[in-house]
Chains A and B, each alone.
Chain A
């Protein structure tokens, strides 16, 4: 089932001025329910415009955005309801914290939804736990926390609204490897537990290959590819053509193929590459290859 569907969506910045820029051109695709979808593309490919269309922060100039099959702009006055259902975590969201305590910051969204106090408190705790924030931190000022912790507070603030769709724009940017894995694992876990639909925007193909079920590829405001993660990364050449990176391991495999080594197509994890090479190298191993 598709959770969000874009039908022939276009968006132009500065229309009719010398700065006119087509951010999106006639884009149509769907985001699968109950899955993690990765959105990839260069800076300027239209990704950020797209995520703002998902929750009605911007309105398409042509085409429709459907949530559960219904046009989100059918009743423009109720667009706020859509923003509770589609939660957007922007880039570097830790710069948007502003409350005096972590608790108050996470509670901001649920409060705006008009929920009763005990419900808000329950959601704050649940969201904090989900992103791995210690309960003791709830009474601290968010500004005393480390960068990674602040980021998790910001994500918890969106999760506390229990959105049906959670959209994260570069959630791991600037974090160290542990912080990055932690946040992405927690997002996966949130998806699994809540059954929500998750969309992640990232430049890291390695992360996308590891954490996403589906991938959508954009270039210059147009849809290039869409499919299951392995299907999309199987077309590494196509990705390279539109100037996108491919996971380092896929690049290694392509280079090996160019050197005449018959690596399988469509490898995008270290595991798969290792299995393939063990098979190729191990075939006549035994007495042979140990030259060390």
Chain B
């Protein structure tokens, strides 16, 4: 197997509580590999450490212990220079939760140019990158608009374009759909998945929406700073009791198939998304019909 794009080894993070200088552990001993081009969802209740994990990956926070390799480079090494850090932030981009806190310029295209400008990209190329990034998120016609007049979903798409313009290998979405209405959520999800599909960008999405997590290739469940489960949506959502216990839930589709299986019905197939669930149930009907024909 080729080298993972992200490799963490016994990663831990704790912070000092201001009041009594107590060490508050947030993340314990997290060892994970993420392959280049993977689409991963990280789920966990509030305080489970999922945002902290994301922030460690591009050193918004520095780990207390353990090692992180990005694309083979040890970013936790003391030899990391400022240039290395800049290169890392370019490679691993982050989109945050609040659409109102991420845009800095007064015109959409200037906001998108902000990142590449800071990287010292020549201005002719910046123009090309901005246009391309706008097209990638479907916001070309808003190039000259004022960001504050956009909807939440549009603002998030501009924030995404700002990262695209830096040509990242990996994008982390830290609850980027949490404050959006259903339409905005759909817009952001579509863009996120298209970037993964068409450009092979490694996508890590942190979410409280189980139906969003169900769309990823792989789900990592964090609980109290530890990796509790790591598997396909099918595997993860086949344990609804466990997820409930740690304050999460499963998509209704998965809950339905689980209920039917518990009632003794035999259902083979995937369950995470509504489409998969429908296929699985239809297969059971087909099997029943077949058996009725065979057995009379």
Contacts and interface: CB of A to CB of B under 8 A. Distances in A.
Interface of A: 42-43, 92, 146-148, 173-180, 203, 206, 245, 247-249, 251-252, 255-256, 259, 261, 270-271, 273-274, 277-278, 280-282, 284-285, 287-292
Given A42-B183, A256-B282, A274 B260 contact: yes
A141 to B, nearest CB: 11
Q: Which of B181, B252, B255 has the most CB of A within 10 A?
A: B252
Given A281-B284, A288-B295, A274 B259 contact: yes
B266 to A, nearest CB: 4
Contacts of A247: 252
B76 interface: no
Given A42-B183, A270-B252, A252 B277 contact: yes
A273 B284 CA distance: 15
B268 interface: yes
Interface in B146-165: 151
B124 interface: no
B284 A173 contact: no
Contacts of A281: 260, 265, 284-285, 288
B95 interface: no
Contacts of B277: 252
A194 to B, nearest CB: 27
Contacts of B281: 256, 261, 277
Interface stretch (B81-89, B103-111, B166-174, B243-251): B243-251
Contact of B252 (A249, A278, A291): A249
Nearest to B245: A178
Interface in B217-252: 247-249, 251-252
A291 B268 contact: yes
12 contacts: A174-B208, A177-B45, A177-B249, A270-B259, A271-B259, A274-B260, A277-B260, A278-B263, A281-B284, A289-B266, A289-B288, A291-B287
Given A255-B274, A277-B256, A278-B265, A43 B208 contact: no
Given A247-B252, A249-B252, 19 more contacts: A176-B44, A177-B208, A178-B45, A203-B181, A248-B253, A249-B256, A252-B278, A256-B282, A261-B282, A270-B256, A274-B259, A284-B291, A285-B264, A287-B295, A288-B292, A289-B266, A291-B266, A292-B266, A292-B268
B210 interface: yes
B179 A174 contact: yes
Nearest to A209: B252
A274 B257 CA distance: 8
A252 B288 contact: no
A251 B291 contact: no
B46 interface: yes
Contact of B46 (A92, A146, A249, A255): A146
A278 to B, nearest CB: 5
Contacts of A280: 285
A206 B252 contact: yes
A259 B45 contact: no
Contacts of A274: 256, 259-260, 263
Contacts of A255: 274-275, 278
Contacts of A206: 252
Given A176-B248, A177-B208, A278 B253 contact: no
Nearest to A148: B46
A233 B13 CA distance: 46
Contacts of A174: 97, 175, 178-179, 208
Contacts of B122: none
Contacts of B288: 281, 284-285, 288-289
A146 B278 contact: no
B270 to A, nearest CB: 13
B71 to A, nearest CB: 31
